[in-house]
Chains A and B, each alone.
Chain A
């Protein structure tokens, strides 16, 4: 089921862990019905690398991220995280073995959502320790220790006994980051983590993310925050119609893009200040709009 598309595909299936890429996507394609959202994505992310994925709404960025941890099952291709490789197999019910591999990938690739998705019925600390206890099987005391460490890291230790409803959006996203970090993952996947935030709260979240990036956390960040990409990314990828059309260091992609589509996107972004915000669920099922000349 692993049809492979694209050029540099004869990748060595085995790699010495530590030296090779931590995330490797090979020929990833995704259809929603007849809508071809991902059209053969190749991506290798090295340990300690921070990459930003830019692109218009509907270009497939969120779908790409959700295919990495199988919140969406890719139609074709394979995902490898930290040496664990899963082939897309959407037509069959998941076998026990397949499901377990997916779970192992999820443990290593933690995702942050646009809408935070904290558990509203649990206090902050319980949000953070739930998965370490259930999934990593830490004892409660140990999980609390880990949880408090990461809450302190995002500056929210004082809020440990609050319910999420009492936090601001920025605080919620920081708790979500602490919750993901408490799983001690190999890579963090950010799906437009600041898009749902009040502009005045964006900074506190980006600060935490920048700190993580500078500490060498491996991160794949889908974002519209150009300043963050410039400041924190080692590499920027520009996505259009389900493929990466440009890739390079931030200065190069952001300041002197080669691809005309990237140029158009960035120009419009600079003139409008901010492109249209993607609502949850909107990006995925919406039919792909014509390549250019469409915003609002």
Chain B
């Protein structure tokens, strides 16, 4: 970087001036990611219950959801929500569009993760809960889902990291998050190298910070597994 600056290829003064504007958009990126992943978890729990349901229509619906969403590009889904749904009278602002599309998309991927997690809970756990007289609902809520959640935590963490990065895609519908500013400022001033470097660095720091918390969380969840 220093060498590039010395050669006059990188404008450090420009970085100093513009970085705060791009950085100021970082909270929105974090906000979009957190809200989207939270809604995606709800989609995923419902989707996974559908995927293990004995009711054929529910199973079919959940399977269609996963297949459809995983079979189409995320950017198409974002544009579809923003530009195609208005034809049916559904007009969502850019931010809501982005969050809905991200949550819907990640919900489908995480559906399969949750399904695998639920099915990884041993059969004996269900037998024990039923034998104690617990209802199906309590068994699911108190016995199966907590254990499934622990099984899927590492995978969900990876999804969250991917979500932080994919949240950049919502800039295409005009959500003013980090990439939006990096793109606008960079092209206005013909300094895209600098602005994209800043944005990339922030994404990297965000994902590394999150990885750190993820490891801490996994350690905490593993407490009940520790023997000593």
Residues of chain A whose beta carbon lies under 8 Å from any beta carbon of chain B? 69, 71, 103, 106-107, 110-111, 113, 115, 117-123, 130-131, 134-135, 163-166, 179-180, 183, 280
Q: State A123–B223 Cα separation when bound (angstroms).
A: 11
Q: State A120–B142 Cα separation when bound (angstroms).
A: 12
Query: Hey, what's the 0/1 contact readout for B198-227 against A, CB within 8 Å counting as 1?
Result: 000000000000000000000000011111
Known: A121-B150, A121-B224. A280 touches B131 (CB 8 A): no
A117 touches B226 (CB 8 A): no
Known: A113-B128, A165-B227. A103 touches B133 (CB 8 A): yes
B226 touches A165 (CB 8 A): yes
Q: Quick one: which of B133, B138, B147 contacts A183, CB cutoff 8 A?
A: B133
Known: A115-B124, A119-B125, A119-B143. A163 touches B223 (CB 8 A): yes
How many of B's residues come within 8 Å of A, CB to CB?
24
A121 touches B132 (CB 8 A): no
A103 touches B135 (CB 8 A): yes
Q: Does B130 contact A (CB under 8 A)?
A: yes
Which chain A residues lie closer than 8 Å to B130 at the CB level?
Answer: 71, 106
A135 touches B125 (CB 8 A): no
Top 7 closest pairs, chain A to chain B, by CB: A117-B128, A131-B132, A163-B224, A117-B124, A111-B131, A107-B133, A135-B133
Which chain B residues lie closer than 8 Å to A131 at the CB level?
Answer: 132-134
Q: Does B11 contact A (CB under 8 A)?
A: no
Which chain B residues lie closer than 8 Å to A134 at the CB level?
Answer: 134, 138, 142
A120 touches B127 (CB 8 A): no
Among residues of B, the one whose C-beta sits closest to the C-beta of A134 is: B138
Known: A134-B138, A165-B224. A69 touches B131 (CB 8 A): yes
Which chain A residues lie closer than 8 Å to B125 at the CB level?
Answer: 117, 119
Q: State A111–B124 Cα separation when bound (angstroms).
A: 12
List, sorted by A's number, 9 A–B pairs whose CB atoms are closer than 8 Å: A71-B127, A106-B132, A106-B133, A111-B127, A113-B124, A119-B129, A121-B224, A134-B138, A166-B227
Known: A134-B138, A163-B226, A280-B124. A121 touches B146 (CB 8 A): yes
Which chain A residues lie closer than 8 Å to B122 at the CB level?
Answer: 117
Which chain A residues lie closer than 8 Å to B146 at the CB level?
Answer: 121
Among residues of B, the one whose C-beta sits closest to the C-beta of A117 is: B128
Q: State A69–B127 Cα separation when bound (angstroms).
A: 10
Among residues of A, the one whose C-beta sits closest to the C-beta of B143 is: A119
Known: A113-B124, A135-B134. A120 touches B227 (CB 8 A): no
Residues of chain B whose beta carbon lies under 8 Å from any beta carbon of chain A? 122, 124-125, 127-135, 138, 142-143, 146-147, 150, 223-228
Known: A120-B147, A130-B142, A280-B124. A106 touches B131 (CB 8 A): yes
Q: State A164–B133 Cα separation when bound (angstroms).
A: 21
Which chain B residues lie closer than 8 Å to A123 at the CB level?
Answer: 224
Which chain A residues lie closer than 8 Å to B129 at the CB level?
Answer: 119
Which chain A residues lie closer than 8 Å to B224 at the CB level?
Answer: 120-123, 163-165
Which chain B residues lie closer than 8 Å to A180 at the CB level?
Answer: 132
Q: State A237–B132 Cα separation when bound (angstroms).
A: 26
B133 touches A119 (CB 8 A): no
Q: Report A15 CB to chain B, min CB distance, Å.
A: 23
Which chain A residues lie closer than 8 Å to B124 at the CB level?
Answer: 113, 115, 117, 280
B147 touches A110 (CB 8 A): no
Q: Report A63 CB to chain B, min CB distance, Å.
A: 13
Q: State A291–B59 Cα separation when bound (angstroms).
A: 44
Among residues of A, the one whose C-beta sits closest to the C-beta of B150 is: A121
Q: State A131–B142 Cα separation when bound (angstroms).
A: 10
Known: A113-B124, A130-B142, A135-B133. 18 other contacts (CB 8 A): A71-B130, A106-B132, A111-B127, A111-B131, A117-B124, A117-B127, A119-B129, A120-B147, A120-B224, A121-B224, A122-B224, A123-B224, A130-B134, A135-B132, A163-B223, A165-B224, A165-B225, A280-B124
B147 touches A121 (CB 8 A): yes
Between A103, A120, A122, the greatest number of chain B beta carbons within 10 A of the residue's beta carbon is seen for A120
Q: State A113–B126 Cα separation when bound (angstroms).
A: 12
Q: State A113–B124 Cα separation when bound (angstroms).
A: 8
